[in-house]
Structure formats: structure tokens, C-alpha cells
Chains A and B, each alone.
Chain A
Amino acid sequence: MKKELIKGNIAIAEAAIAAGCQCFFGYPITPQNEIPEYMSLKMPQLGRTFVQSESEVSAINMVYGAAGSGARVMTSSSGPGMSLKQEGISFLAGAELPCVIVNVMRGGPGLGGIQPAQADYYQSVKGGGHGDYHLVVYAPSTVQEAVELTQKAFHTADKYRIPVVVLADGVLGQMMEPATITVPKEEPLPEKTWATTSIGNSSRKPNIANSLYLDPYKLEKHIQHLAKKFDVITENEIMVEYNDIENAEIVVVAYGTTARIVRSAMNTLKKEGINIGLVRPITLSPFPTDEINQACKNANSVLVVEMSLGQMIDDVKIAINGEKPVNFYGRQGGVIPKASDVVDEIKKLRGVI
């Protein structure tokens, strides 16, 4: 596969196809429209399924049907559409059905806007639907990483029987960057013996895709089973990237597009002899709590930068556990922080300005 200049949304769609995505169900909403548009052309050509659903509610339930039947399946959306999907996401989590959900984040609340934001962190990481559940959430920061994490998302979903979110933002979705559409080499996965394939000639009992447990003791046991599974995911699947943390006086924690802006700010500051580190969580759920604590051990303080009012900062504060100040800088509503803004903020924190 050769490197090509490719738009983030289309790269995500191509990555899914290369990972063997058999079904795509979606509904138009900006800034992710290139994903369903691309899928509507390519999937039928490959003999695979594309359905433009009547709503995001229906799209996520079509995902439920296909996932329960054992297919690799994806949907994508943004903002209000992600809110509509939350009912179905809760059911998918309850029924332990693997699927990939791409959120190309825009500004909210409400109809909000169509410019990039990171305001759906709580919704994705803390569970936007009802009930006790966790999702796996990957946060790419380049188009190439969006390709790789979309493909990894399918694998993780199948490995653990869990819905996985790829949490991108409008910058990543709309930006063109050089990237290679890889064909993932996957470890062997467990057979989907639970899938509703119809009984056929086998002697097995009926398979049921279900999240209903009317007996509270059985529901409690089920929820605890989901929690134990997430403990295993936390043990094995955390991904985090470090930049220049060794001698950093301030460590910045940022994810996705924001981490790239922070890196530009770090380069400027380095020329002025100011050492700043960056910790970039790649999995937002499970969250790299211990990793962040360790990475910030030698720093005087921590700065969290987000395109929101500050949502991930809650988890960073838990990671830092009161050991040092955790400060925040963010822009909201689709306003993208400039590297110079981050430079100024860090200088302010150092008491230089």
C-alpha cells in the first residue's frame, strides 16, 4: 500500500473496509458526511452492506442486528446524532455486541455548530447512555493514526465483545494528510459462537442477543461480569504517547487534534529554553491513570488543554491525586486554540508574563 494524500473521513472509511467491515449503517450529519458517502459507493461494489437509515436511532439498531448476527459493523456520526445513538449504545453494551462507532466531534450542546470540538468526552468516556457500562474509546491525532485505530477498534470490539468508539474531531475528519491504508495483521480471535446465525442443522440451543435481566441478582451478576471484563481491558489495552516528559517543568495532557497544537507550542517554548512535556492518551477509556501519574512525577504542575470547557481534566485530576496543581486551558464551541495561545498560557503558569 502506498502513501496517499487523503481526507480523514475517507481514510476512516477505507480503513474500515480494509479491516473487513461487512456492514455500514449511517445518517448524514456534518462533519462526518464523507464516511457514509464513501461507504454508499464502495460497500455495494464489494458485495457488502450500506444502508442510509431513517435516523441515527435506527442506524445504531441496525448495527445491533448486524453485530448480533456476527458481522463486523460500523456506524459514524457527530453531535446531535451521537446523542440519538446513546440508547442503542447502551443496549449494545448490555448485550455485549462488538461494533465500531465513529464520532467526528463538533461543538455543542444542542445543535451547536459544525466546527471541531472535544465536548463529547463525557458522553463517550463516562457513558452517554443509561446504566452501568464502559466503552473502549480511541482518540486518534493524525489521519494515519485514525486509520490504525479504526482497524484496531474492530479487533478490540471482537476480542472483548464490546462496542468501541473512535473519537475523532472535525479537524481530523476534514483535514487531508498523507496516510497509508494498511491491511491489519490481526491475532486470532475467538469464534462468535454466540451470534444469531439461525440454528440450522446444529444441535445448539437458540442464541439470544439480549440485555434484559429481570432478576436483580442476575442483572447484578451481569453488570459485574461487564466490569471484570473492563478490568482486563484496562490491564491490557491502555495506549498513551509521551513527548519530552523527562526534564519537563510542566507536563501538558491533551488528546487528538489538541495534542498536535500543544506539540507546536512545545517547539516554540523549547527554543526559549523552556522544557514542556506532553502526555497524549490514545485510549480515553480505559484511561491511562497510572501512566499519567508517573509521567508527571517530576513536573511542578500539569496543564490540561482541551477543545471544551474541560472534561478530561476530571480524569487527569484523579490521576494526579492532589499531588500537584492541575490547570486548564481550553476553547469551546468550535474555536480551535492556537499554538501561541498555549505558549502564552504556559508562560502565564510559569509566572513569566
Chain B
Amino acid sequence: MKQVFKKTTMLTDKPFTYCPGCTHGIIHRLVAEVLEELGIGQDTIGVAPVGCAVMCYEFFNCDMHVSAHGRAPAIATGIKRVYPDKIVFTYQGDGDLASIGTAETIHVAARGENLTTIFINNAIYGMTGGQMAPTTLMEQKTTTSPTGRSESLGGNPIKMSEILATIDGVCYVERTSVHNPQHIIATKKAIKKAFQNQIDNKGYSIVEVLSNCPTNWGMSPQQSLVWMEENMIPVYPLGVKKEVK
């Protein structure tokens, strides 16, 4: 029988550690498929964050670094300076990229490091059990904003893609979502462009992917996808924020 589909070679056989309905698995697969399709998997070195995706070093079938919280862009800089011809990427969550690692995020962009970042924004700290993230929406309840995020106590959600789009040295910023198949396909296209830019030596590329957290949002997987569309996208509008052709 003719084989019409197989798992990407850029994922290991290790079972994912993510909760049922979590979209990390989908995004992992998209990244892995892109690495395979571009033929760069064997030349790739990835950097795992701190957060739910810390275990991704066991899932991506390439050399990996496990970072301290928020420091992935600095580590990726060190790797890329040693191997300018290799493909280096970071996979980071919202606490990692938009809170504890904000300085690293801004400056890797300002240096125009020829790297690719996949930024997972699910508006909550997943691994530590559902605390408020820098990207938590106003009124959203978390374990450290138990009555809902208020400006006076918790400040405002931070829009990293819009911030990064203002920085010289950034080549490409796009925000996508994975709440339905149409947007999953669009996300893969964006991820592919972000890696192609690195191959073409164009500078820093980042794709912010809106993601879910059914466990800590207290929703079924299906409910969480609807919540993403109805609540997250209005605050975090999708689209290309910057592209240097």
C-alpha cells in the first residue's frame, strides 16, 4: 500500500508531556515539519525555555540547549556566534519571553541576530499552575489574580509583537493562532517564513502563536479554542506586524 502520510522525522518518539487539548503539540509538529521540509533539520540547534515547553528538548530531533528562565535569546546568540551557518531557534512561552526575559528579547532583536523565535502566548503560566502572565487578559482569573486581572493590581497585557515590530534589526514579526485548522495552516506558513529568513541571512524573525491552556483556564479543550477566538484575538490582533523584504 502506498504510504500517504508519516510523522515528521524532526520529532522524536518520546510521548508529549502536555495536557489533553494543549496546542503545544500542534505547534511542535509545525516547527518540526518546517525543519524537515526546508531540509535544515540536521543543521539545527534549538533552545528550550523554562515553562511547559522545557521538555521540548526531548521532543525535537536535533541538538538542543535547555535555558534558564527567559535567557534563551542570549543562549541562542552564543550558539549562533559560534556557528553562523547553522540554524538556531528558540521556543519560548509568554512568561519566559515577555516577563523574566524581556531584556534578552528586546536586545536579541536590536542586535538583529539571525535567529528564529517561536513565541507561545497562552496568557497564563502553565507549568507552575496557572499564575498571571504578562499577557494575561484584563479581568482574566488566574491563581495570582484570583478576582480577575485589574490594572491597579496587575497592570496591563503586554503586546510583544507590536513592540518588536518597532525595533530596527528585526526582519519579520507575525502573530498567528492555532484555534482552528485554517489558522494552523497559516501558522505553519509563518513559521516556515521565519526559518527561511534565517536561511537567507535576513536577521531576527519571530512568530507569536496564540495558544491555549485548557487545564489552567478551567475549560474543556473545545471551550478553550472558542475562548481564544472570542477573547484573545481582539486583544492580540493577528497578522504581519513587520516584514523586511
Given A51-B81, A87-B68, A65–B62 Cβ distance below 8 Å?
A: no
Given A58-B74, A61-B71, A209–B103 Cβ distance below 8 Å?
A: no
A26 at the interface (CB under 8 A from B): no
Interface flags for A56-80 (1: CB within 8 Å of B; 0: not) read 0111011111111111010000000
Q: When the two chains form the complex, which single residue of B71, B79, B81, B83 contacts A88, counting CB atoms closer than 8 Å? A: B71
Distance A153 CA – B62 CA, assembled complex (angstroms): 31
Binds A, one of B41-49, B197-205, B219-227, B229-237: B41-49
Residue contact B78 to A63, C-beta cutoff 8 Å: yes
A199 at the interface (CB under 8 A from B): yes
- Could you tell me the distance in whole angstroms from the C-beta of B170 to the nearest C-beta in chain A? 15
B104 at the interface (CB under 8 A from A): yes
Residues of B within 8 A of A210 (CB): 57, 64-66
Residues of A within 8 A of B42 (CB): 198-201
Distance A207 CA – B82 CA, assembled complex (angstroms): 16
Residues of A within 8 A of B74 (CB): 53, 57-59, 61-62, 64-65
Q: When the two chains form the complex, which single residue of B43, B47, B78, B107 contacts A200, counting CB atoms closer than 8 Å? A: B43
Residue contact B61 to A61, C-beta cutoff 8 Å: no
Distance A28 CA – B195 CA, assembled complex (angstroms): 33
> Chain B: interface residue count, which band?
35 or more
Given A58-B71, A199-B42, A210-B66, A69–B61 Cβ distance below 8 Å?
A: no
Interface flags for A183-208 (1: CB within 8 Å of B; 0: not) read 00000000000001111110000111
Interface flags for B1-22 (1: CB within 8 Å of A; 0: not) read 0000000000010000000000
B77 at the interface (CB under 8 A from A): yes
B243 at the interface (CB under 8 A from A): no
CB-nearest residue of chain B relative to A201?
B42
- Could you tell me the distance in whole angstroms from the C-beta of B49 to the nearest C-beta in chain A? 11
Residues of B within 8 A of A212 (CB): 54, 66
Distance A73 CA – B78 CA, assembled complex (angstroms): 9
Residue contact A88 to B68, C-beta cutoff 8 Å: yes
Residue contact B75 to A64, C-beta cutoff 8 Å: yes
User: Chain A: how many interface residues by the 8 Å CB criterion?
Assistant: 40
Residue contact B79 to A69, C-beta cutoff 8 Å: yes
Distance A211 CA – B66 CA, assembled complex (angstroms): 7
B142 at the interface (CB under 8 A from A): no
Residue contact A196 to B68, C-beta cutoff 8 Å: no
Distance A225 CA – B103 CA, assembled complex (angstroms): 35
- Could you tell me the distance in whole angstroms from the C-beta of A159 to the nearest C-beta in chain B? 20
Residues of A within 8 A of B75 (CB): 61-62, 64-65, 68
- Could you tell me the distance in whole angstroms from the C-beta of A38 to the nearest C-beta in chain B? 18
Distance A49 CA – B78 CA, assembled complex (angstroms): 9
CB-nearest residue of chain A relative to B68?
A91
B37 at the interface (CB under 8 A from A): no
Given A62-B74, A65-B74, A206–B79 Cβ distance below 8 Å?
A: no
Residues of A within 8 A of B45 (CB): 69, 196, 198
Residue contact A65 to B107, C-beta cutoff 8 Å: no
Residues 63-96 of B at the A interface (beta carbon under 8 Å): 63-68, 71, 74-83, 86-87
- Could you tell me the distance in whole angstroms from the C-beta of A44 to the nearest C-beta in chain B? 11
CB-nearest residue of chain B relative to A64?
B75
Q: Which among B42, B78, B106 has the greatest number of chain A C-beta atoms within 10 A?
A: B78
- Could you tell me the distance in whole angstroms from the C-beta of B17 to the nearest C-beta in chain A? 10
Residue contact B65 to A209, C-beta cutoff 8 Å: yes
- Could you tell me the distance in whole angstroms from the C-beta of B124 to the nearest C-beta in chain A? 21
Residues 106-137 of B at the A interface (beta carbon under 8 Å): 106-107, 111
Residues of A within 8 A of B44 (CB): 198
Residues of B within 8 A of A200 (CB): 42-43
- Could you tell me the distance in whole angstroms from the C-beta of A205 to the nearest C-beta in chain B? 9
Q: Which among B42, B71, B81, B104 has the greatest number of chain A C-beta atoms within 10 A?
A: B81
12 sampled A-B residue pairs with Cβ under 8 A: A22-B82, A49-B81, A51-B111, A58-B74, A61-B78, A61-B104, A65-B78, A66-B82, A68-B79, A71-B82, A197-B63, A206-B63
- CB within 8 Å of A: which residues of B? 12, 42-45, 47, 54, 57, 60-68, 71, 74-83, 86-87, 103-104, 106-107, 111
- CB within 8 Å of B: which residues of A? 22-23, 25, 49, 51, 53-55, 57-59, 61-71, 73, 87-88, 91, 95, 196-201, 206-212
**Closest 4 interchain pairs by CB?**
A65-B78, A61-B74, A196-B63, A65-B75
